[in-house]
Amino acid sequence: MKSTVSNGEYRNVPVAILTESPTNPRKRFDEKALEELAATFKTQGVLEPLLVRELEEQNLQVVIGARRLRAAKIAELEAVPVRVVKLSDAEAVEAQVVENLQREDIHPLEEALGFRSLLELMDGTYTVASIAARAGKSEAYVYSRIRLTDLTPPVAEAFLADKITTGHALLIAKLPAAQQQEALAASFRGMWTSEGNSQVLIPVRELALCYAPHKANNAESLFMRTPLRADSELTLRNSSHTSHNRRGLQQGDELICCLEPARTQLR
């Protein structure tokens, strides 16, 4: 994707009048990396100007450069170089998405938020097809990423923290919002180790067993997870579910029983 940002005016401005843009798709900032960048700013200064737009007098919004702004604050710099450009809301969103898509460490959810921001622009400039073409991706890829924006905040936070994989996130995003917290909890199993009971992320295919279409339609489907010792055999706590739960499970897999609300209560 190519940006249409034109040349602007270069200035040195006080850090105090700069604010981050709320539409920036970037949500993750590595604290250690910020500290390291701040250290270089103290010795070398900010070499690359931040791209900003003027919202009102003495109020500049950072369109591109939120990471540099945060590092400058850590370094306690009084002023930083900026390039002031005139951008509409739509142009600012496009510039941010373009910049973020060029990052090597972009998170799938950040990419998804960028795609969604383009689709929601009021002028209707972007469609899934046009985004895919400009991003060099397939339409299926864009649709899949946009699906991630349906995650509820707790699940999105866990995904951004790399507690679950993209596969888990995509599966959970297909579920009703009321069911996603349950699915997030069901993504982990208790495993007894020498250090005690540890939470281990289960494979996506195991999580999917409890969310087959006939189960996913029940928004109140509940889960019971039995922690297993690493050296123990797979056992069933409720023999009445034996034949149902062994289907699709291999030795060493976690037992996951999908129970109806009337038979159990989530604790």
What does the pLDDT look like over 153-186, one tens digit per residue?
A: 999 999 999 999 999 999 999 999 999 999 999 9
> Pick from 88, 121, 155: which residue ends a domain?
88
User: Which residues form the domain of 58?
Assistant: 9-88
pLDDT on residue 99: 82
In a domain, 131, yes or no: no
How far is 101 from 143, CA to CA, in rounded Å?
16
pLDDT for the residue numbered 181: 94
* Residue 1 counted as domain residue: no
Is position 202 within any domain?
Answer: yes
Phi, psi of 238 (to 5 degrees): -125, 105
pTM of the prediction?
0.64
Question: Facing residues of 9 across strands?
Answer: 84
DSSP type of residue 168: H
Where is the domain boundary, 28, 58, 88? 88
At residue 27, does pLDDT exceed 70? yes
Total structural domains in the chain? 2
The residue type of 53 is: R
Pairing mode, if any, of strands 18-20 and 59-64? parallel
Asked whether residue 32 is assigned to any structural domain, the reply reads yes
The average pLDDT across 16-29 equals: 88
Per DSSP bridges, beta strands 59-64 and 196-201 are: unpaired
What are 186-239's pLDDT values in tens digits?
A: 999 988 877 778 889 999 999 998 876 544 444 444 333 334 333 333 332 333
Could you tell me which residues are beta bridge partners of residue 179?
Answer: none
In a domain, 127, yes or no: no
Residue 31 counted as domain residue: yes
User: How much of the chain exceeds pLDDT 90, in percent?
Assistant: 47
In the numeric block, the tokens 């997870």 are attached to 225
Residue with tokens 């019971």: 224
Select from 57, 88, 119 the last residue of a domain: 88
Q: Is residue 163 part of a domain?
A: no
Predicted local confidence at residue 104, as pLDDT: 72
Average pLDDT estimate for 134-144: 90
| Confidence (pLDDT) at 212 | 61
Q: Where are the alpha helices (DSSP H) in 63-152?
A: 66-74, 89-101, 108-119, 128-135, 139-147
CATH of the domain at 47: 3.90.1530.30
Say if 108 falls within a structural domain.
no
